[in-house]
Amino acid sequence: MTNKSLVSITDYSKEKILSILDKAAAFEANPNQKILDGKVIATLFFEPSTRTRLSFETAVNRLGGRVIGFSDAATSSSSKGETLKDTIIMVSNYADLIVMRHPIEGAARYASEVSRVPIINARDGANQHPTQTMLDLYSIKKTQGTLENLSITMVGDLKYGRTVHSLLMAMSHFNPTFNFIAPNELKMPDEYKMFCKSKGIKFTELNELNEEAISDTDILYMTRVQKERFTDLFEYEKVKNVYTLKNKLLENTKENLRILHPLPRVTEIDADVDDNPKAYYFTQAKNGVFARQAVICDLLGLV
């Protein structure tokens, strides 16, 4: 069975991305509408996630839709051994669209093949989380006025960080210059660097986050360096503070620079940065509601 779904950011062309971002801007201007009146949206969270689920449910509620679903697989019939296929077919009998998070990679792609209604992947394990990328893109476009020709610095865990990989793929349509700052253990994987080379995208790689490294940057995308990624905890102790962003580092950066972070943030952005006008991560999370409203209504053919 085929229908329109959003499983991976690469499902979207450049034109589609831009069109969704325009729709997101329209929802931001007018977030409370009755456009989903009479629609039922299922949020199936086979793995708990407060942030993403609340963002999706807010997006639906503000548009007058109803939400059904579960926020923990223990309360769903998958705990009784039901296959994902059966769960999805059942729920697609009830709902007009399904938002799902699942710990198993590829679960959303498979669901999109068996479902009668559109699926939005709200993350499948370590694989994809395309609405995060859409809200990142929306935040970039809103703060910079364009997505074209920007200098983007990515900091932290660039090896396992799914958000930076998806953002890299999506930004590849817009002639970016990338600057990757990570410890050797967490460097950007070769396949993404090869991808940049094949697309003629310029990038530099550094080990240290310092003033000089970010002097030309438009978007500073911070990610968390997770302790559990290190086999040698001594290495972790060495690097954990090297990637902490402090106000002092931002003094000589460009006026238009904005700091993004997929959140949750731990120690990688000092609390003193929060009041800096260049800090954008909380507004970025808020933008997620508008980006998700745009994706949902687009899949339902309502905008």
Could you list the active site residues? 51-52, 80, 101, 129
User: Of these, 67, 73, 107, 119, which contacts another protein (CB under 8 A)?
Assistant: 107
Contact present, 224 and 185 (Cβ < 8 Å): no
Two tokens, residue 194: 């090869």
Stretches 119-127, 129-137, 210-218, 291-299: which one binds another protein (CB under 8 A)? 119-127
Using CA atoms, how far apart are residues 250 and 236, in angstroms rounded to an integer? 24
Count residues binding another protein (CB under 8 A). 17
Could you give the CA distance from residue 281 to residue 57 in angstroms, rounded to a whole number? Answer: 20
Q: How far apart are alpha carbons 196 and 292 in whole angstroms?
A: 28
Q: Which of the ranges 44-52, 68-76, 100-108, 222-230 carries the binding residues for another protein, by CB under 8 A? A: 100-108
Tokens 């039922």 -> residue: 40
**Would you tell me how many other CB atoms lie within 10 Å of the CB of residue 224?**
19
**Contact 70/98 with Cβ under 8 angstroms?**
no
Residue in 31, 40, 61, 110 binding another protein, rule: CB under 8 A: 110
For the beta carbon of residue 55, count every other beta carbon within 10 angstroms. Answer: 23
Q: C-alpha angle with apex 173: 255 to 117, nearest 5 degrees?
A: 115
Select from 43, 55, 121, 127 the one that contacts another protein (CB under 8 A): 127
**128 in contact with another protein (CB under 8 A):** yes
> Residue type for 225, please?
V
Q: Does residue 43 interact with another protein by CB under 8 A?
A: no
**C-beta closer to another protein: residue 107 or 158:** 107
Smallest gap from Cβ 121 to another protein, in A, equals: 11
Stretch in the footprint of another protein (CB under 8 A) among 17-25, 89-97, 122-130, 275-283? 122-130
Contact between 8 and another protein by CB under 8 A: the answer reads yes
Nearest distance, CB of residue 21 and another protein, angstroms: 24
Residues 173-202 that bind another protein (CB under 8 A): 191
Smallest gap, in angstroms, from Cβ of residue 59 to another protein?
26
- Backbone angles phi and psi of 220, in degrees to 5: -105, 105
Q: Which residues are registered as beta bridge partners of 221?
A: 154, 260
Alpha carbon of 35 to those of 53, 61, 66, 69, 301: distances in Å?
Answer: 20, 10, 12, 21, 11
Nearer to another protein, 7 or 257 (CB): 7
Please, which residue, 84 or 259, has the CB nearer to another protein?
Answer: 84
Binding of another protein by 82 (CB under 8 A): no
Take residue 75 and report the two structure tokens written for it: 């309360």
**Among 17, 21, 41, 84, which residue interacts with another protein (rule: CB under 8 A)?**
84
Q: Quick check: 203 binds another protein (CB under 8 A)? A: no
Q: Residue 2: is it exposed, middle or buried by C-beta count within 10 angstroms (0-12/13-18/19+)?
A: exposed
By the 8 A CB rule, do 226 and 159 touch? no
> What is the smallest separation between the CB atom of 78 and another protein, expressed in angstroms?
10
| Residues lying near another protein in the complex (CB under 8 A) | 8, 83-85, 103-107, 109-110, 124-128, 191
